[in-house]
Amino acid sequence: MTESPSAHVPVLLDQVVRWLQPRPGAVLVDGTLGGGGHARALAEAVGAEGLIIGVDRDQTAVDVARRRLGGLPVELVKGNYCDLPEVLEQLNVGPVDGVLLDLGLSSDQLADAERGFSFSADGPLDLRYDAMSGEPARRLINRLSEEHLTRLISTYGEERYSRRIARAIVRRRRERPIETAGELADLVRCSVPKGPHGERLDPATRTFQALRIAVNDELKSLEIALRRIPDCMKTSARMAVISFHSLEDRRVKEAFRTDERMRPLTPKPLRPDEEELAANPRSRSAKLRVAERI
């Protein structure tokens, strides 16, 4: 991936810093390092006596963040945030003062045409965060049955036209395998009725979301993390989670509401204000929930 220092814009940055309350000397975890924007702000707040532990499944993200965050008090690890207890043990770090999970794609990943995350670029249809493990999306869509594809796109993409899309995929792959993000995006767009004039959501969005969730087992990772991370936190430490679709947000809301170890601090999710939306349209679906360890 070609590094672009200005590509990544951290979502809800001011709210994250305000709610996590990083103080000098504190130790916090950014479990979804991405472009490193949140980690930078948190590292500057905790100062030289503190520490930010940045975790990401994407080795490229870790490597780029290491360059971007040089000189700041950060420790960067390639890994899955659901394995935070093992990460902390490996680093010989005890309970932490705060945890952030930003469940969205980074702008750097979207800008990397070789990964297939962006359906506006015709790169290989991969969609894996960790290119060394799992099955790329192109293999998935070229082997699953029509019924399985329908369920996957409906369940993980909440796509009402999932059956049409699955049928079109199966019909196309009889002629030739679907290999690129552009091929799949065009196929989906031709399968979905046009929405109202001016609708901002690309018709391919939900299908790509579904495949990305499936390829990376994202919801399982989130569920495991919500169970395990509270035991890695000090009393009064805060956990902030930014989600981008209802499948994630429902799980976060339910975990914060029912986990006896946690006290929700945000009855309703926090959303980007008009200024942020104007500066970063990709933030429009972001929701931030915060809870405190008790």
Strand order in the sheet with 27-30: 74-78, 51-56, 27-30, 96-102, 233-243, 287-293, 262-264
Q: Whole-number mean pLDDT of the chain?
A: 92
Predicted local confidence at residue 51, as pLDDT: 98
Predicted local confidence at residue 2, as pLDDT: 42
Q: What percent of the chain has pLDDT over 90?
A: 83
CB 264 within 8 A of CB 127: no
Does the predicted TM-score (pTM) go above 0.75? yes
Predicted local confidence at residue 282, as pLDDT: 84
More confident residue, 281 or 230: 230
CA-CA distance, 261 to 229, in Å (whole number)?
A: 10
Predicted local confidence at residue 3, as pLDDT: 45
Domains of the chain in sequence order: 13-108+219-293 (3.40.50.150), 112-216 (1.10.150.170)
More confident residue, 52 or 6: 52
Q: What is the 3-state secondary structure (H, E, C) of 193-245?
A: CCCCCCCCCCCCHHHHHHHHHHHHCHHHHHHHHHHHHHHHEEEEEEEEEEECC
CA-CA distance, 162 to 73, in Å (whole number)?
A: 46
Q: Is 53 helix (H, G, I), strand (E, B) or coil?
A: strand
Q: Nearest Cα to 3, choosing from 76, 111, 104, 105?
A: 111
Q: How confident is the model at residue 9 (pLDDT cuts 50, 70, 90)?
A: confident
pLDDT in tens, 58-100: 999 999 999 999 999 999 999 999 999 999 999 999 999 999 9
Burial 183-211 (b: 16+ CB within 10 A, else e): bbbebbeebbeeeeeeeeebbbbbbbbbb
Judged by average pLDDT, the poorest of 191-195, 212-216, 236-240 is 191-195
Planar angle of CA 45, 261, 291, nearest 5 degrees = 40
Predicted local confidence at residue 117, as pLDDT: 80
H/E segment holding residue 75: strand 74-78
CB 186 within 8 A of CB 132: no
Instruction: Please compute the mean of the pLDDT values over residues 99-124 and round it to a whole number.
Output: 78
Judged by average pLDDT, the poorest of 40-54, 118-132, 187-201 is 187-201
Predicted local confidence at residue 229, as pLDDT: 98
